[in-house]
Amino acid sequence: TSSITFISFYGTCQDCKVRGPNLWACLENRCTYVGCGESHVDHSTTHSQVCTKHCLTVNLTTLRVWCYACSKEVFLDRKLGSHSPLPNPRLSHQDFKIPSNPTLKIPLAAVFDDLDIEVEEDELKTRGLTGLKNIGNTCYMNAALQALSNCPPLTHFFLDCGGLARTDKKPAICKSYLKLMTELWHKSRYCIILVMNDYK
């Protein structure tokens, strides 16, 4: 990620030479194209229109992935159903449809390995779904926190880009929320996490 950070701040669009941040890199295999986004001329979109198979791109500042084929942001966990029970271990292959290509058979284990997702038969619980201890009248707050913690864009920001969260202002709500998300989504999480008033 250090090379991504370097390119995002010091790199330039290959077409108009505008400097980062917010440059977009093509994710097509062996393609090294880096282009500007909508805040400039949007050469990244032009690249995907000229090279029609180059439909995935990543923002080098925020690490968001965009698919031009479906015009949506891509969340890998949503496609794999990480918020639902794990796939049946008896299934060895899953059909994946690729536009303009026949159905491709890919072993599920290979998909999970490539995405660095641990799959164990005895671990049927999903991360992030855990109880929060009610300390008085906090049940409504706990429900809201549980819902927010399972909102992929917000959770990914705090788990993957926690260093970008502002922690210098009082009350340090970002810092407290970052700590809570880290605890909620930790591999060896507790069954109940106590929500305390950390920002006095």
CA angle 163–111–47, rounded 5-degree value: 65
Q: How far apart are CA 90 and CA 23, in angstroms?
A: 43
Q: How far apart are CA 40 and CA 12, in angstroms?
A: 12
**Residue ranges with strand state E in 42-158:** 56-59, 65-67, 72-74, 93-96, 104-107, 131-133
Q: What is the mean pLDDT of the chain?
A: 68
Q: In this predicted structure, what is the pLDDT of residue 50?
A: 93
| Angle between the N-to-C axes of helices 173-184 and 152-160, in degrees from 0 to 180, rounded to the nearest 10 | 100
> What is the H or E stretch that residue 78 is in?
helix 76-80
Better-scored residue on pLDDT, 80 or 36: 36
192 has pLDDT over 90: no
pLDDT digits (tens, 9 = 90+) for 48-106: 999 988 889 998 887 888 888 888 877 765 444 444 444 444 333 344 344 443 444 44
**Nearest one of 65, 45, 48, 49 to 4, comparing CA atoms:** 65
Q: In this predicted structure, what is the pLDDT of residue 187?
A: 62
In the chain the domains, ranked by start, together with CATH numbers, are: 2-74 (3.30.40.10), 76-114 (no CATH), 131-194 (no CATH)
**Nearest one of 192, 64, 89, 199 to 178, comparing CA atoms:** 199
194 pLDDT tier (thresholds 50, 70, 90): low
Average pLDDT over residues 137-143: 82
pLDDT digits (tens, 9 = 90+) for 101-119: 344 444 444 444 444 444 4
Burial of residue 13 (CB within 10 Å: 0-12, 13-18, 19+) is buried
Average pLDDT over residues 152-177: 75
pTM beyond 0.75, yes or no: no
